[in-house]
Amino acid sequence: LRQDDVATGASSTDRVQLERLIEIGILLGSERDPQKLLHEVLFRSKELSNCKVATIFLLTDENTLRFALRTNDDPLPLDELPLVDPDTGEPVHKYIATHAALSGEVVIIDDVYSETRFDLSGTRKFSDENGIRAISLLTVPMKLHDGTVIGLIQLMNAVDRRTGAIGPFNPSVVNLIKALAAQAAVAIDKAKLIDAQAQLLDAVIRLIAGAIDAKSHYTGGHCARVPEIAMMLAEAASADETGPLKDFRFTDDDQWREFRIGAWLHDCGKVTTPEHVVDKATKLETIHNRIHEVRTRFEVLLRDAEIARLRAVHEEGVPVETANAAFAARRDELFADFAFVAECNLGTDQMDGENVARLQRIAQNGWLRHFDDRLGLSEGELHLRRDTPQATLPAQERLLADKPHHVVPRGDKDRPDPSKRFSIQVPENLYDFGELHNLSVRRGTLTAEERYKVNEHIVHTIAMLEALPLPGNLQRVPEYAGTHHETLRGTGYPRGLAAGDLSVPARIMAIADIFEALTATDRPYKKGKTLSEAVRILWRFKRDGHIDPDLFDLFLTSGVHLRYAERFMDRALIDECPIEEFLGRVPQEN
Ligand SMILES: [Fe+2]
Ligand SMILES: [Fe+2]
């Protein structure tokens, strides 16, 4: 006995037990994995009480007790014990476990076989099956501060430390286990809350990604599939022990989760992108395709030509043949011009200077407008015309025009926050719906204003994610989500970052984003790219110094491209893809 033990009357065993209890308290406080936590509680209570068998029961959401863990290796009973009898609706007090859970009381039994208060058939059955004759039993509820029972610790057969004999649990042990049960309750509850919170967060993230995917007919599924490629490639990079990526590794579950969340949210800013921009299929499309409006003007011009022919013959005495020939020439010209404008509208071919000049010539055709063009307009449309004087009717109009009201000016809220230091170029106007402006777009269907609107999603992704109160283990989510449009050469957006600023996970995201877009076949009317075509295009991004060459090579050598294709690509599009020609150093052009 130590001096201070003599003074307090404590035995050295008590002291050791107390120290152990404190140790356990610290351990339980720091363990976040619910399964490991239960394991600790189980074995520590067995050790602290020096008993033969320990069992943990947990209360389920269905108001039953479930066998969660036992120190013996035998399979745990799968049956759950209902706290309320399903037939009578009465609380079940006849079993020790259910009684302890219902009442919150500690139940101490010194001799199982002479016990009469409870139905101990289950314990006796366990004894018979395991050859351990049950003698003493201690059942301690794990209770939270407000008295809520979340489970039970049940200990069987206390062993006397000195004699080795099995006997009753002594009161000091009961107190120790009560203290341990209280600590365990808090720790298990905390772990459950953290787990529930993480699950809720994951569900909300999937909900956002699902909403974005649902917005676009063309890119549906992108937000869900990019994380698949990203995770597969990150796993391959983490597994690389000797190659150029040997230094990269996510070291724990938190880092994996942080990356996965970043991948799920990488396009979350797209919630702000208008559908008519995301899915703009023709140049004249705003909410609808304005080619119908333009075609009606061509109809007007054809009628004008017909009227001119009739007038020439009947009022001006022009010979019928001459008038008919003039009409036929004009009609052919209008048909050819409309066909050309309609072709330009599709945006399938690139526009050159000659095409733009022809558009401008066609635009010069005039027609007379007799109707007031401000009737039936919304407040917003009238607002855009507020500085344009109203023309006297009939007014001379052009076949195609860029008008002042086509331009929607950019407000302050449509500019990125200057403190974020984005280098992305912001066009002066928010939109320009000018007909010539749109039809003259050189490639694709988007104007510079709309192209910016599409690219702006990443500005919003970053702003939205940086505004979240992210916990320490999710700090890098904005980085992972917000860098997939940057390039190693510094030509990307929105920050124009370069190789030195881009982490391995950020580089993985760029590859995942491009490859998903290349292989997606969400457009039912469009033929998807084959696997080898997609790989070749991705290779061009490597050749041009946009994506990380080592990760690109790993993407192929690890077979991630194939595994992804097998899971997500149309069978018919998975063709032979000889990877050798894409691997290794790209010869630099002089
Ligand atoms: Fe994006
Ligand atoms: Fe994306």
If you write DSSP's letter for every residue of 401-464 in order, what string do you get?
A: ---GGGEEEPPGGGS--GGG---PPPPSEEEE--HHHHHT-SSSS--HHHHHHHHHHHHHHHHH
Exposure b/e, 223-251, CB count within 10 A at least 16 = b: bbbbbbbbbbbbebbbebeeeebeebebe
Per-residue confidence (pLDDT) for residue 10, from 0 to 100:
57
Instruction: Provide CB contacts within 8 A for 110, sequence distance 6+.
Output: 135, 136, 167, 168
Using a CB cutoff of 5 Å, list residues around ligand 2, an ion.
267, 513
Distance 222 CA to ligand 1 centre (A): 10
Per-residue confidence (pLDDT) for residue 590, from 0 to 100:
42
Distance 458 CA to ligand 1 centre (A): 6
Distance 412 CA to ligand 2 centre (A): 26
Contact (Cβ atoms closer than 8 angstroms) between residue 205 and residue 261: yes
Beta strands in 326-423 (DSSP E): 366-369, 395-398, 407-409
- Quote the CA–CA distance of 335 and 302 in Å, as a whole number: 9
Residue 408 — φ and ψ, nearest 5°? Answer: -105, 110
Contact (Cβ atoms closer than 8 angstroms) between residue 501 and residue 510: no
Q: Which ligand approaches the C-alpha of residue 513 most closely?
A: 2
Among 5, 128, 142, 152, which residue's Cα sits nearest to residue 74? 128
Contact (Cβ atoms closer than 8 angstroms) between residue 56 and residue 38: yes
Return the residue matching tokens 């007090």.
Answer: 93
Distance 345 CA to ligand 1 centre (A): 26
Distance 484 CA to ligand 1 centre (A): 6
Per-residue confidence (pLDDT) for residue 119, from 0 to 100:
92
Distance 229 CA to ligand 1 centre (A): 15
Q: Which ligand approaches the C-alpha of residue 458 most closely?
A: 1
Locate 233 and state its tokens.
Answer: 């490639």
Distance 557 CA to ligand 1 centre (A): 26
- Quote the CA–CA distance of 70 and 75 in Å, as a whole number: 9
Distance 558 CA to ligand 2 centre (A): 23
State the chain's mean pLDDT as an integer.
92
Distance 549 CA to ligand 2 centre (A): 20
Distance 452 CA to ligand 1 centre (A): 12
Q: Which ligand approaches the C-alpha of residue 270 most closely?
A: 1
Instruction: Provide CB contacts within 8 A for 239, sequence distance 6+.
Output: 558
- Quote the CA–CA distance of 73 and 581 in Å, as a whole number: 55
Among 200, 227, 230, 201, which residue's Cα sits nearest to residue 213? 227
- Quote the CA–CA distance of 191 and 183 in Å, as a whole number: 12
121 membership: H or E segment, kind and range:
helix 121-130
What are the DSSP calls for 252-313, one per residue?
Answer: SHHHHHHHHHHHHTTTGGGGGS-HHHHT--STTBSSSBTHHHHHHHHHHHHHHHHHHHHHHH
Distance 513 CA to ligand 2 centre (A): 5
The CB density around residue 584, as the number of other CB atoms within 10 Å, is 9
Q: Is 92 helix (H, G, I), strand (E, B) or coil?
A: coil
Distance 480 CA to ligand 1 centre (A): 11
Q: Which ligand approaches the C-alpha of residue 484 most closely?
A: 1
Distance 477 CA to ligand 2 centre (A): 15
Distance 457 CA to ligand 2 centre (A): 10
Distance 581 CA to ligand 1 centre (A): 29
What are the DSSP calls for 160-181, one per residue?
Answer: -TTT--EEPPPHHHHHHHHHHH
Q: Which ligand approaches the C-alpha of residue 461 most closely?
A: 1
Q: Which ligand approaches the C-alpha of residue 483 most closely?
A: 1
Distance 554 CA to ligand 1 centre (A): 23
Distance 40 CA to ligand 1 centre (A): 45
Question: Strand 51-59 to strand 149-159: parallel, antiparallel, or no bridges (unpaired)?
Answer: antiparallel
Contact (Cβ atoms closer than 8 angstroms) between residue 209 and residue 223: yes
- Quote the CA–CA distance of 422 and 414 in Å, as a whole number: 14
pTM of the model: 0.81
Distance 291 CA to ligand 1 centre (A): 30
- Quote the CA–CA distance of 297 and 399 in Å, as a whole number: 7
Tens-digit pLDDT profile for residues 175-227: 999 999 999 999 999 988 988 999 999 999 999 999 988 887 777 789 999 99
Low-confidence ranges of the chain (pLDDT < 70): 1-10, 522-526, 587-590
- Quote the CA–CA distance of 479 and 266 in Å, as a whole number: 9
Contact (Cβ atoms closer than 8 angstroms) between residue 106 and residue 140: yes
Distance 264 CA to ligand 2 centre (A): 9
Return the residue matching tokens 């004759």.
Answer: 133
Instruction: Provide CB contacts within 8 A for 333, sequence distance 6+.
Output: none
Q: Which ligand approaches the C-alpha of residue 493 most closely?
A: 1
- Quote the CA–CA distance of 172 and 14 in Å, as a whole number: 8
